[in-house]
Structure 1
Amino acid sequence: MDEKNMTVITVIRLLGFQIPQCLTFFVFFLFLVIYCVIICGNLLIITLVFYSKALHSPMYFFLSQLSISDILLATDVVPNMLHAVLRNTTTVSVSGCLTQFYFFAATETLECLLLTAMSYDRYLAICKPLHYTLLMNHQFCWIIVVTSWSLSFSAVLISTLTISTLQLCGPNIINHFFCDLDPILQLSCSDTTIIQLESTSLSAMFAVVPFFIIVVSYVYIIVTIFEIPSITGRQKVFSTCSSHLTVVSIFYGTIVCVYLIPSRGQSWDITKFLSLLYTVVTPLLNPIIYSLKNKDIKQVVGKIINNFLNLHFKSHANLQISL
C-alpha cells in the first residue's frame, strides 16, 4: 500500500497561483480591487432595483438575485485566494474545504437557473407580449426565485454530503486556488464512482438542460426579431436582451472551457486561469455589462446623480445666503 493510502488527512493545503515574490503585492492589490468592485457593483444593482420604481420588473428582479449570487460566489472564493497570494499558499480544514465547494457549486447552479429564468422572461416579452403581464406576474417571479434557490442549495447538498463520506489521503496538497470537485476527488483513496455519477447527473439537470432552454428561447427570439419589418424596430427589441445574451455567453463559455473540454495534458496553470474567469471575472463583468448596455439602469443612475448634484448645489446656495 502506497503512502497516499496510508495517511488520512484533516487539513488541505491550497497552492494558489505560485507567483514570483516581486509580484505578490501587485497581484494581491489587483484581486483586492476586483473584489471591492464586485461587491460595490452588485450592491449597486441590488439597491437600484430595490429603490427605483422604473426597475420594478421581472427582468430586473431576476438581475438583483443574480447579483446576490455573484456576491456569494466572490465572497466564497476571493478572500481565501487573497490569503494564498500573500502567503504563497494557504491551508483549510477538510470541513472548510467542503463548505467552500458547497457554496461555490450552489451559487454556480443558482446562476444557471436564474439565467434560464431571465431568458424565459425575454422570450415572453418579445414573442408573447400580449400575455406577458399575465404570465410573468409578481407571484410567479417569486415562485421561480424561491424554487431556484431551494433547488440549487438542496441539490448540491446531496453531492457535498456524499463527498464528506470519502476518505481523503495524503499528500494533502491541492494545486488550485479553491476547493473544486476534481481536486478534492484526486485526494480520495475511496471509490468515487457514486459521486462522479451524482455530479454528472446534477450537471446535466442544472447546467445542460438550462442551457438548452436558453438556446431554444433565443432561437424563438431571433426568429421573432427578424419578422419585425423595420431595422430600427429590430435594434430596439434586440437591445432589450443584448445584456443578458452577453452574460450568458461569458458564463457558459468559461464553464464549457473548464468542464467539457478534455483536460488531459492541460496544465494546472491553464485550469486555474479558466477557473478564474467564472469565479472572479464573471461576477465582475455582470454588473458592468448591465450598467453600460442597459438603457433603463443608465437612466436611473443618471437621475440619481442629477438629484444628488442638485441637492448639493441647493445646500451650497442656501449656505451662502445664510452667510
Structure 2
Amino acid sequence: MPSKPLNIKIEGTTGPVFRRDHRKADGRCLSLYGYAPHEGAALDELLRPDTAPGEVRRDPLRNSWAVYAPHRQSRTFLPSAADDPLAPARPGAPPTEIPFEDFELAVFENRFPSLAPDVRPGQLSPWASGPATGQCDVVVFSKEPSGSLGTLSQARRVLLIEALIDRYRALHEAGFAYVMPFENRGEQVGVTLPHPHGQIYAFQDVPEPQRAAARAFGNGYDLVAEHAAWGGQFDVAEDGGLVAFCPPFARFPFETWIMPRRPCAGPWALDAEGAHSLARLLAEVPRKLDALFGEPMPYMMSFQAAPREAASRFQFTVQFFPVLRAPGRLKFLASVEQFTGVFTVDVVPEAAAERLRAL
C-alpha cells in the first residue's frame, strides 16, 4: 500500500501553508504549495534528457561573464495546448512536468537549466572559466493554461509570495549567493511556454548589477528617502505601506517598480499586511500596463532582494521592464544600448507615471 504523502506545514508570513515535496524519477525535486495538504498519487512525468554541462566564459575586454548551455536549444518551444508541459497530469495524456491531476502552485527544477549545482570541472571545454554553477527552478502559478498575475486571485498571489519566500530561504541555506525570482511575459521577450509561470535563478556568485546595488546601499544610498523626496510625482499606485512608481532614472519606457516605503531587505521581511499589499500591486501594475495600449504588455519582471551576504541596508524592489513604447512598437536594445550600455529612452518617467496613474 503506498505511503501517505508527506506535507510540510510552513508558518508563512500570512498564515500556514503546506508544501509537498516529490522526488521525480530523474532526481529533480518538485514542490507543491497550497493552503491545504496535497493528496493524490503521481502519474507518469516528463524526464530530463541527457545534457552536456553548462559553463561560464569570461570576456577580458568587458570583464563580464556569459553562460553557455547549448542543451537549451532543444527545450520545448510554443507547444500546443495538448502538449503543455506545465499542465496537470491526465490519465492517458502525454506526461507533463507535474505528475498530479490537481495542484495550486508548483515549483520544480528546470528540465533545461542554464545553471546546475553538480557540474564537474572535468566536463568543461578548454575555453571555460568554470562551471555554470547554480540552480534554475520553474514556478507554475496555476494549473490553468492561461492567465496572468493580473488575473490570478489575491489568495493565489499571496501563496506565490509565500512559496518564493520559502525558496529564498532554502536556496540561501544551500549556499547560493544570490537568488532572483522573475517572470518573462510575452513572445516578444522570448517566452517559449504560454502557461502562466515564472522562474527562479540561484547564482553561486552575485552578478555585477546586484553587487553594484549592494555597494551603493552599503555606502549609504537610501532609496526610500529619495523616493519620499520626489513628492509623489513618479508614483503610479500605492497599497498600504508599499508603492509602485516609475523611477526617474528608468531605462525602459513605462518601467515600474514596487517598493516598501520602509527599509526592507526582501519579501521575507514583510509582515502579513505588507505581503497582501505586495500581492495586490503585483496584479495592479500588469493591469495598468495592459490597459496602456489596450493589449497584453510584454515585460520582464524580477524580484530584486538582498544577496545572502549583503548588508541589511539593501532595499527590496520588484521591477517591471515593459518592452512596448507605443502600440505595436517594441523598445529594441539596438547598437547604442548593446555596445555602450547607455540606454536611450523615448518616454520620460514622469510622463509615464502620469499616464499609468490615470489608468
Q: TM-score range by the shorter chain?
A: under 0.3
Larger strand percent:
2
Larger helix percent:
1
Higher relative contact order (CA 8 A, sep 6+): 1
